[in-house]
Amino acid sequence: MSEAVVLRGIGRTFAGRRPIAALDGIDLTVRAGEFVTLFGPSGSGKSTLLRIIAGLERADAGTVQVLGGPPREAARRKDIGWVPQNAALLPWARVRTNAGLSALVNRRADRSSHPQRVPQDVDGILAEVGLADFADARPGQLSGGMQQRAALARVFVQGAPLLLMDEPFSALDEITRSSVRLQLLDLWERHRKTVVFVTHSAEEAALLSDRVIVLSPRPGRITAEIEVPIPRPRADCAADSDAVRAVEREITAALRAGASG
C-alpha cells in the first residue's frame, strides 16, 4: 500500500457554550514509509489531528482512511503505535520488559495474524537506541532522555507500521533533546515506518522530516507543505548544518506567513 493516511476535508469543532473550531478543511495524504511533521502555533489543532488519525477523536466533517480503512480498525489491529510527551514506562518493570510489553500484550489480545505488524527483537532495538547496558535497569534508574529512548524502543518493538508522535521530546532539556532526536533519526532511517510527528521545534522538523505540514492559527488549516530535500542518512549533517538551517528558516517563514494571512 502506498498511502498510509488519507484525510479529506477534515473539520472538528468542539461543542460548548462557545464552540471552538479546531480544524477546518484538512486535506493530507501521508505515503507509506514517509516521515511527516505537523507544525503550527499552539492551538492550531495538531494534537486533535493526531488523535483523529489514531481513532481517539472523531472528525465532524470529512473522511479519514488509515492503512486502507477506518482508523479504529487500524487501532484494533494494533497497527498504530503512539509515542506521548512522557515516556509512561511502568516504574516497577525492567527496561527490557517495558520495551517488549506492548508487543506482548498485543500478541495476547489479538492472535489473528496481521502481516503489516512485525514485532521486533527487543534486545536488538534496545541496542539500537543505546540502552543495551540498561536492559535490566528500572525506569527510575534512567535519565529523562534514556526513558524517552526506552519509549521509542517500545514503539519500534511493537512493530506497528504507523507511528504517531505528539511532541515526544518537549519535556527534555535542549542538549538531551538533540541527542534523543538523533537517536530517532537513526532508528527511523533503519526501519522506515510511516511517522506523523508533532513538534514546536522548526529545527527538529527540518532534521527529521521528509515533509513538513504548516498549520494556521485556530482553526487549523494547512497553509504550506514543505518538502525537505536533505539526503538521507542525515545523522552526519547533525543539527547545525547549513541545509538544516535553510529548511528551518523556510518552515519558520511559512509559519509567520500562515499566521498573518
Ligand X SMILES: Nc1ncnc2c1ncn2[C@@H]1O[C@H](COP(=O)(O)OP(=O)(O)OP(=O)(O)O)[C@@H](O)[C@H]1O
Residue 25 corresponds to which cell in the numbers above? 478543511
Closer residue to ligand X in complex, CB, 105/257: 257
Closer residue to ligand X in complex, CB, 44/223: 44
Closer residue to ligand X in complex, CB, 47/116: 47
Q: Which parts of the chain fold into alpha helices (H)?
A: 46-54, 71-76, 95-109, 122-128, 144-158, 174-191, 202-208, 242-260
Closer residue to ligand X in complex, CB, 79/167: 167
| 193-221: b (≥16 Cβ within 10 Å) or e | bbbbbbbebbbbbbbbbbbbbbbbbbbbb
Minimum distance from residue 137 beta carbon to ligand X (Å): 31
Minimum distance from residue 22 beta carbon to ligand X (Å): 4
Minimum distance from residue 20 beta carbon to ligand X (Å): 5
By residue count, the chain amounts to 261
Closer residue to ligand X in complex, CB, 23/150: 23
As a whole number of Å, the CA-based R_g of the chain is 18
CB 36 within 8 A of CB 211: yes
| Complete DSSP assignment for 134-156 | GTTS-GGGS-HHHHHHHHHHHHH
Residue 232 corresponds to which cell in the numbers above? 538521507
User: Across the strands, what pairs with 63?
Assistant: 8
Minimum distance from residue 245 beta carbon to ligand X (Å): 23
Closer residue to ligand X in complex, CB, 29/47: 47
Q: Which parts of 192-241 fold into alpha helices (H)?
A: 202-208
Contact residues: ligand X, CB under 6 A = 14, 20, 22, 40, 42-48, 218
Minimum distance from residue 14 beta carbon to ligand X (Å): 3
Exposed/middle/buried for 85, CB within 10 Å: 0-12, 13-18, 19+? Answer: middle
Closer residue to ligand X in complex, CB, 131/165: 165
Minimum distance from residue 186 beta carbon to ligand X (Å): 26
Residue 185 corresponds to which cell in the numbers above? 533519526
Minimum distance from residue 258 beta carbon to ligand X (Å): 13
